[in-house]
């Protein structure tokens, strides 16, 4: 007989699928620059953390400022640039009518490794993202970049579904399209993760998820 009953196995399969869907739905909402909705729907408010190459943000307010407030502020600034550079298309448009015009953050979520806790109350996931992003240069307008990065995430199950609890974003490189990322890499190297250079060996950054019983018995991303 297997470790799980048919009912238990079905529950675990559904939970793993739901965890993966949370990550993908979050990626779609950030693509549309619906930052507030993305955080409200898919992040817990129970002391979340967000770590990047060079900083760690702790608590809902800090994560919200970084993901939502700064994201919306940058989008409004980008809209102003697009109005000036493309007056016929956007000159008389309100922010709500052109939200995110000219920019794009396409973060495909690939190579999922998901471990669901035995108690099914938390899960750990690691993903790789092959990003195709367009940022708005204040003088020249849209500029395309490759942004490749790893995500490591702790998920927690709440009454209304699975939520992102802790997220680590490890950016390997950010390079203008058409450039060689071995020589042009704009991703920062910080105290939490080192961006790619030809002089370093491939790095994990954080451990790949392994099976665990409860969150108290494992590590935190």
Q: Please state, in angstroms and rounded to a whole number, the distance separating the CA atoms of residues 37 and 78.
A: 20
Q: Is the pLDDT of residue 109 over 90?
A: yes
Query: What whole-number percentage of the chain has pLDDT above 70?
Result: 99
143 close to 134: Cβ distance less than 8 angstroms? yes
Q: In what order do the strands lie in the sheet with 49-51?
A: 56-58, 49-51, 161-176, 141-158, 122-137, 104-116
Bridge partner residues of 156 (DSSP):
122, 163
Nearest in space to 166 (alpha carbons), one of 40, 49, 36 = 49
Burial status of residue 192 (CB atoms within 10 A of its CB: 0-12, 13-18, 19 or more) = middle
Half-sphere exposure of 34 (CA within 13 A, CB side): 11
Please, what CATH class does the domain formed by 6-203 belong to? alpha beta
Q: Is the pLDDT of residue 147 over 80?
A: yes
Return the minimum-mean-pLDDT range out of 88-92, 133-137, 198-202: 198-202
Domain spans in the chain, listed from the N-terminal domain onward: 6-203
- What are 26-81's pLDDT values in tens digits? 999 999 999 999 999 999 999 999 999 999 999 999 999 999 999 999 999 999 99
Q: Please state, in angstroms and rounded to a whole number, the distance separating the CA atoms of residues 153 and 207.
A: 11
């Amino acid at each position: 007989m297997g470790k799980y009953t048919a009912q238990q196995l079905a529950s675990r399969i559904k939970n793993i699928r739901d965890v993966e869907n949370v990550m993908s739905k979050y990626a779609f909402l950030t693509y549309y620059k619906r930052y507030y909705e993305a955080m409200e729907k898919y992040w817990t408010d129970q002391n979340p953390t967000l770590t990047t190459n060079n900083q760690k943000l702790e608590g809902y307010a800090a994560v919200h400022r970084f993901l939502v407030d700064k994201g919306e502020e940058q989008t409004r600034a980008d809209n102003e640039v697009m109005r000036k550079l493309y007056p016929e298309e956007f000159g008389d448009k309100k922010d709500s009518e052109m939200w995110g015009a000219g920019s794009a953050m396409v973060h495909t979520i690939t190579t999922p490794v998901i471990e669901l806790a035995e108690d099914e109350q938390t899960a750990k996931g690691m993903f790789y993202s092959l990003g195709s992003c367009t940022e708005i240069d204040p003088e020249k307008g849209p500029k395309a970049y490759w942004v490749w990065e790893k995500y490591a995430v702790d998920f927690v199950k709440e009454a209304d579904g699975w939520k992102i609890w802790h997220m680590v974003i490890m950016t390997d490189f950010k390079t203008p399209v058409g450039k060689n990322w071995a020589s042009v890499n704009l991703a920062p190297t910080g105290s939490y993760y080192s961006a790619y250079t030809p002089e370093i060996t491939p790095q994990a950054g954080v451990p790949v998820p392994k099976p665990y019983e409860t969150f108290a018995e494992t590590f935190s991303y």
